[in-house]
Amino acid sequence: MPIAEIRQLDGGYAREARSLLYHAYRHEPTFGYLLESDRPGFDQRVRATVRELVNQHFLEDQPALGLLIDDRLVGIALIAPPVRRLGITESWAWRMRMVLTAGFRCTRRFLAYHDAILACLPPGPYHLLPLLGVHPQFQGRHLGEQLFDALHRWCAEDGSSQGLVLDTGNPRYIEFYGRLGYEEIGQVALGPIVQRVFFHPNPQPLSQAAS
């Protein structure tokens, strides 16, 4: 297993984060549906969407954890804290930039997708993972497990959070999330895609577990 370092990231990593997440999401079924992969310009729409999400995330000073090998960013998770939910999509500046770069129809699909995911969520508070990924060149090396282990420990330090929520439309990740202790709590239909929503509870404090 390669030696990897976990680091909390700031906006100085935005460019590397955009590149990594573009490669992680360009073949994902969810982005294929939301950004219309059967229509010309799909790669540009993926780049634009990832760029706007990452830039807005760091602009709003939201947390991100990175996995680095020899100072190269090879894995990342953008985190929406309990008090923020999915507030990025509520920004009118973000929506306007999305319309101008990804197009009105794809932006509308993206917003509808987020609304549907929110409707599946249990009562909070909890952390959300809007985007995460390991660079394709480094997949299959158990780096995802390292990143999630760090995420679970990091989120558990927030005593106000009940756990961590994520969603995926890629069936290949379902078993992986199950091994990590995630439970499916809802589904959203995105055209032919079934988007599954998963929850991982934070460990209970010893004082609470003993009561």
Mean pLDDT computed over every residue of the chain: 90
Q: Is the dihedral of CA 50, 51, 52, 58 positive or negative?
A: positive
Two tokens, residue 202: 């934070």
User: With 90 as the cut, is the pLDDT of residue 30 above it?
Assistant: yes
∠ CA 41-136-87, nearest 5°, is: 65
Categorize the per-residue pLDDT at 121 as very low, low, confident or very high, splitting at 50, 70 and 90.
confident
User: From CA 139, how far away is CA 122, in angstroms rounded?
Assistant: 31
User: With 90 as the cut, is the pLDDT of residue 210 above it?
Assistant: no
Q: Calculate what percentage of the chain has a pLDDT beyond 70.
A: 92
The H-or-E segment that residue 24 falls in is helix 14-25
Categorize the per-residue pLDDT at 13 as very low, low, confident or very high, splitting at 50, 70 and 90.
very high
Categorize the per-residue pLDDT at 208 as very low, low, confident or very high, splitting at 50, 70 and 90.
very low
| CATH code of residue 144 | 3.40.630.30
Region 66-78: mean pLDDT is: 95
Task: Report the pLDDT value the prediction gives residue 84, as an integer from 0 to 100.
Answer: 53
User: With 70 as the cut, is the pLDDT of residue 2 above it?
Assistant: no
User: With 70 as the cut, is the pLDDT of residue 7 above it?
Assistant: yes
Task: Report the pLDDT value the prediction gives residue 160, as an integer from 0 to 100.
Answer: 85
Q: Which domain holds residue 172?
A: 5-210
Task: Report the pLDDT value the prediction gives residue 206, as an integer from 0 to 100.
Answer: 41
Q: What is the pTM of this model?
A: 0.90
Task: Report the pLDDT value the prediction gives residue 140, as an integer from 0 to 100.
Answer: 84
Report how many domains make up the chain: 1
pLDDT tens-digit series, residues 76-119: 999 998 865 555 667 788 889 999 999 999 999 999 998 899 88
Task: Report the pLDDT value the prediction gives residue 205, as an integer from 0 to 100.
Answer: 55
